[in-house]
Structure 1
Amino acid sequence: MSGDFLLAGVRVIDAASFIAGPVATTIMADLGADVIKIEPPDGDPYRHRTGGPGVAESPYNYRWIVDNRTKRGMALDLREAAGRAVLHRLVERADVFVTNTPLDSRGRLGIRWTDLAPLNPRLVYASMTAYGERGDEAGRTGFDATALWARTGLMDLAKPSPDSPPARSLPGMGDHPTGVTLFAAIMTALYQRSRTGRGTMVSTSLLANGLWWNAIQIQAALSGARVEPRPPREEPASALANLYRCADGRWFLLNLLNDDRDWPPLLRAIERPALADDARFATTPARRANARALVPILDGVFVSRPWAEWREILNRHRLTFGEVGTVDDARDDPQMVASGALQPFDDPRAGAPLTVASPLWLEGVEKVAPRFPPELGEHSVEILRELGYAQPEIDKLLGARVVVQGKPPA
């Protein structure tokens, strides 16, 4: 890895599985860290996961690609003493160790903070859990759909109307921002280490991140307020902050929060000046009180033109809105590419010329061009040699299947 990158020389052990933990190390790899992905000999279950509810079928392992790019891979059996000995050598040389292994399993595998900290006083140990490190539920397993989305009220509050069933989350939707939180914790600990010379343990949880996502409504409830469920689209608190459909079926969110300022330019944009003289809509309190009457009027206006025309009109009148995009729109969205949110990925094995960038930038600091994620155990022998293992020792580990060396990519 080039010494020009921000985290060049930082050595990271990614001993996590699925999404949130590995996302944190992917960001570090993007910034130049040497990330070693540790998997059991049969591989991270996330590597082999295919199909399922809400999961698009593809000949490309797109989930593994986006969450584990630009890492090296080692297949290591931590259930064996010899495997743990290899891990200990890695830890002695590492800056960061990341895990989301359930707390009880960490004890059996010898990968708790208390197990690894004595091996390296500079180690930053990063822990991801579903429900936190303490409390009766600390040992519970969970996913973002359960611990982040369902438990914290988000699933209940995001439903489209009070009578609707709770709103399901998308796969990994909460894991990616939670991984950014863990990245922030790791970087904070590395900064502290630069001042004290000592590592520490950092942690976050899906539960905590769900509460943070929902902090405004949670704080309202904590302060004694009654948090009302979201009304249906036809009965909004304000017709100027509502969803509307265009002639071509595309939806957009009109989001005008300063009624007094935005009402006149909106009337000019929709070419309905007569509404200014309608007593029901003459003032902001009147428009709020008569929102149910205003919604069908605006429905009739916006359904008269396709979205492309309304986008140009609303932009010209400097009105705030958001198009309701589809995931397919990302293939042709120039702003996503121009802003760097989608970045080039020059590897035909990825099945796409672009990939989703980690969502942060430092001015004047380049990111590493994304590399295809490692095959299972692709770099195992390479890493053992770096750790000082002689060839007979390597052969013994391979023969016992404590370490698995994968095939190099074609």
Structure 2
Amino acid sequence: MVAPLDGVRVVEVANWMAAPGAAALLADLGADVVKVEPLRGDAMRGATRQPAVPEGEPPLDAAFALDNRGKRSIAVALNQAEGTDLVRRLAAGADVFLCNLLPARQARYGLDPATLLGANPRLVHATLTGYGTHGPDVARPGYDLTAFFGRGAVLDAMSEPVNAAPPRLRPAQGDHTAALALFGAVLAALRLVEATGEGQVVDVSLLGAAAWTMSSDLSATLVDGVRPTPEGRIARPHALHGGFRCADSRWILLFMPEPHWWPAFCTAVGRPEWIEDERFADRAARSANMPELTRLLDELFASRPLKEWCALFDQHGFIWGPASTVSEFADDEQAAADGLFPEISEPSGRRYRTVRAPFRVQGADIAPRGPAPAVGEHTTAVLTALGVQAEDLSRLATDGVIGGHPGPRAGEGAVG
């Protein structure tokens, strides 16, 4: 099989999850990704839960390893002129420059589109920001929680309607949504460079990713200005849409909004009288009587454990899903059969499972290329290939312009 991006060179100047996640997908497709880190390392290193490992094994920085697998790392101080000069020289020989620096910092370091495309007219310059590169908040830092979930109204749409605390959020949901957008935009830009011979400037934001995520609600609100009312369980529009607690306190999720499901459901669960009950006879009646219907459905589902409901619903071809725990998803038979969790091997011999790219292309070699690097693990090799002489490497290291010392890989517990 062919790696789709074999031969494509990417320079990444980014931290945390969104932009590095996009670069990790480019690496999965075969791109050579050089990650430029500060001397202390990406702030993401060691910032999330470290999974339990067998006694005697080094820690595993799993979340960092996920978004930085298959890359090479160099450690460079961007606040020193010689450091930014090294990065510009790398970008001059690259196909893609990918960063999450705000536009003002790009200009300060000479890493803005005009400067880099001036030296490399076929470069794809891709920026991931919180709020975009135009408008009053162009200089405002933005993160998954603040720009995507908060400003982008995702939290509002997910919250219960009356004085409820916002739902608890998990890391990187907005970041990885934006990462997919950035990944796709870079691929489109590479195609344009191939077609036109001209460099391209890519701009993706967390706020823009939130807008696309919320577009089903926004598409109506953009027309009439009305805020969608958050739907509680007793205000949902369809009876067989939502979650129900089973006898073992597990939740089952249903999505059967079309009217023809209602009589089939009532018959299957032993409540045929609900079909003719005038309170539930059609969609409008069920909607008008949703509080009472929800009470009856809650009583019904509380009569059997999840496993029994699953078996019954499969027998009748109903559309359902369990509210799985994360550990259950990690051991899900379907996920394993579809290859969602491939293994990565470290030079030490340790193997661990990770999450593959959420797509396949028939005949293409798309897979994690290896573990994430340690901070500056490849500084010497990358800069030597750039033409930096050994004596200059030594001086730059002494002056605090570059870093990189032998040490554990990111997957083996390296921290910034």
Counterpart amino acid of 1:367? I
Q: Provide the residue aligned with 1:22 in structure 2.
A: 20
The worse-fitting range, judged by mean Cα deviation, of 348-357 and 381-390 is 348-357
Q: Distance in 2 between matches of 1:69 and 1:222?
A: 40
User: Is the contact made by 1:65 and 1:350 (CA closer than 8 Å) also made in structure 2?
Assistant: no
User: Is the contact made by 1:252 and 1:321 (CA closer than 8 Å) also made in structure 2?
Assistant: yes
Instruction: State the Cα distance separating 1:341 from its structure 2 match.
Output: 2.4
Instruction: State the Cα distance separating 1:35 from its structure 2 match.
Output: 0.4
User: Is the contact made by 1:347 and 1:372 (CA closer than 8 Å) also made in structure 2?
Assistant: yes
Residue in structure 1 matching 2:33, options 22, 25, 35: 35
| Helix, strand or coil at the partner of 1:64 | helix
Structure 1, residues 143-184: CA drift from partner, whole Å, max 9, x if none?
111111111222112102333233353221100010110011
Instruction: State the Cα distance separating 1:349 from its structure 2 match.
Output: 7.5
Q: Distance in 2 between matches of 1:268 and 1:92?
A: 68
* 1:97-108 matches, cutoff 5 A: 97-108=97-108
Instruction: State the Cα distance separating 1:348 from its structure 2 match.
Output: 8.9
Q: Provide the residue aligned with 2:60 in structure 1.
A: 60
Q: Distance in 2 between matches of 1:368 and 1:314?
A: 36
Instruction: State the Cα distance separating 1:126 from its structure 2 match.
Output: 0.2
Q: Distance in 1 between matches of 2:42 and 2:330?
A: 29
Q: Distance in 2 between matches of 1:252 and 1:348?
A: 42
The worse-fitting range, judged by mean Cα deviation, of 156-165 and 123-132 is 156-165
| Helix, strand or coil at the partner of 2:345 | coil
Q: Provide the residue aligned with 2:56 in structure 1.
A: none
Q: Provide the residue aligned with 2:297 in structure 1.
A: 298
Q: Provide the residue aligned with 1:221 in structure 2.
A: 221
Q: Provide the residue aligned with 1:205 in structure 2.
A: 205
Matched, 1:371 2:343: no
Q: Provide the residue aligned with 1:353 in structure 2.
A: 352
Structure 1, residues 371-410: CA drift from partner, whole Å, max 9, x if none?
1100000011111121122222222222222111221548
Counterpart amino acid of 2:85? A
Matched, 1:238 2:201: no
Structure 1, residues 197-255: CA drift from partner, whole Å, max 9, x if none?
12111111111111111112122112115333223213432221121011111112211
Residue in structure 1 matching 2:44, options 46, 67, 73: 46
User: Is the contact made by 1:17 and 1:101 (CA closer than 8 Å) also made in structure 2?
Assistant: no
Instruction: State the Cα distance separating 1:9 from its structure 2 match.
Output: 0.5
Calculate percent identity across the aligned residue pairs: 34
* 1:166-205 matches, cutoff 5 A: 166-205=166-205
Higher relative contact order (CA 8 A, sep 6+): 2
Matched, 1:4 2:17: no
TM-score, normalised via structure 2 length: 0.91
Counterpart amino acid of 2:43? P
Counterpart amino acid of 1:129? T
Structure 1, residues 74-102: CA drift from partner, whole Å, max 9, x if none?
00112222212211221111000011112
The worse-fitting range, judged by mean Cα deviation, of 324-333 and 229-238 is 229-238
Instruction: State the Cα distance separating 1:269 from its structure 2 match.
Output: 2.3
User: Is the contact made by 2:156 and 2:230 (CA closer than 8 Å) also made in structure 1?
Assistant: no
User: Is the contact made by 1:162 and 1:231 (CA closer than 8 Å) also made in structure 2?
Assistant: no
Q: 5+ unaligned residues in a row in structure 1: which ranges? A: none
Counterpart amino acid of 2:13? A
Q: Distance in 1 between matches of 2:27 and 2:321?
A: 32
| Helix, strand or coil at the partner of 2:173 | coil
| Helix, strand or coil at the partner of 2:375 | coil
| Helix, strand or coil at the partner of 1:234 | helix
Instruction: State the Cα distance separating 1:282 from its structure 2 match.
Output: 2.2
Relative distance call for 1:258 and 1:374 in structure 2 (3 A) is: same
Matched, 1:343 2:356: no
Instruction: State the Cα distance separating 1:331 from its structure 2 match.
Output: 2.4
The worse-fitting range, judged by mean Cα deviation, of 15-24 and 261-270 is 261-270
